[in-house]
């Protein structure tokens, strides 16, 4: 535990405790939230923008937006659930401004992966309908729960489950990815 400017800040604190400390004015609590979630935001932004420099811009803007919510921020889920739509919106804006607007399909197809199996998986994901692909990415890449995915997409949990089931069936049926998903 470290003490700074009259506040206690500990890397072992939960996100909820850090948010409470940040709401009370502890700048190191927000710094810890940033350090805890920046890599996730950067990976997400890179995937959504298709460009590392643009992703860094999105990272900066997302955390500036987050910081602007203090004091008074109330967490109603996980921090990543709060940040996902922020990053998504900022990424779309950056791509439009840069004239590089691409949908997820193009971004997935543009991935350069050394592992041919991963490349096939990326192409198979790109072939899914956008609503199914987004659910698969949120659930299995970004590791959001069904509840969090529903919250992020603003759809019922049953819709998330249905889209996920349809997508996984399509991936199981696809000869390129069948080995990854079994029979």
CATH of the domain at 158: 1.10.10.10
Residue 49 is predicted with a pLDDT of 87
Residue 4 lies in a domain: no
If asked whether residues 69 and 39 sit together in one domain, one would say: yes
Based on the fold, state whether residues 110 and 56 are members of the same structural domain: no
The answer on 155 and 125 residing in a single domain is: yes
Query: Which residues are within 8 A (CB) of 83 and not within 5 positions of it... i.e. 6 or more apart?
Result: 37, 40, 41, 62, 66
**Is residue 6 assigned to a domain?**
no
Residues 91 and 141 in one domain: no
The domain tally of the chain equals: 2
What's the pLDDT at 137?
87
**What is the pLDDT at residue 107?**
52
Angle at 156 between CA 63 and CA 74, to 5 degrees: 35
Q: What is the pLDDT of residue 4?
A: 47
Residue 10 located in a structural domain: no
Exposed (0-12), middle (13-18) or buried (19+): which is 64, by Cβ within 10 Å? exposed
Instruction: Flag whether 155 is in a domain.
Output: yes
Give the residue from 48, 69, 100 where a domain finishes: 100
R_g over Cα of the chain: 18
**Please, what is the end-to-end C-alpha distance for the chain in angstroms?**
50
Q: 10-residue block means of pLDDT along the chain (183 residues)?
A: 49 92 95 96 90 94 97 92 92 80 51 62 85 89 87 92 94 83 63
Tokens 């995937």 sit on residue: 47
Q: Which domain does 130 fall in, by range?
A: 103-178
Residue 40 belongs to a domain? yes
pLDDT of residue 104: 53
CATH code: domain of residue 74: 1.10.1740.10
């Amino acid at each position: 535990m470290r003490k700074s400017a009259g506040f206690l800040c500990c890397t072992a604190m939960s996100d909820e405790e850090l948010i409470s400390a940040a709401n009370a004015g502890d700048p190191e609590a927000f710094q810890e939230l940033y350090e805890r979630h920046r890599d996730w935001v950067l990976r997400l932004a890179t995937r959504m923008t298709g460009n590392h420099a643009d992703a860094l811009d999105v990272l900066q803007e997302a955390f500036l937006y987050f910081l602007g919510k203090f004091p008074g921020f109330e967490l109603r889920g996980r921090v990543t659930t709060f940040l996902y739509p922020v990053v998504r919106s900022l990424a779309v804006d950056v791509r439009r401004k840069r004239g590089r607007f691409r949908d997820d399909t193009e971004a997935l197809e543009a991935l350069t992966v050394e592992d041919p199996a991963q490349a096939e998986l990326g192409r198979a994901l790109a072939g899914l309908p956008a609503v199914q692909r987004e659910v698969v990415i949120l659930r299995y890449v970004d590791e959001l729960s069904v509840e969090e995915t529903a919250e992020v997409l603003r759809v019922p949990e049953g819709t998330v489950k249905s889209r996920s089931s349809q997508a996984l069936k399509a991936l199981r049926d696809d000869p390129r990815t069948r080995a990854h998903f079994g029979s």
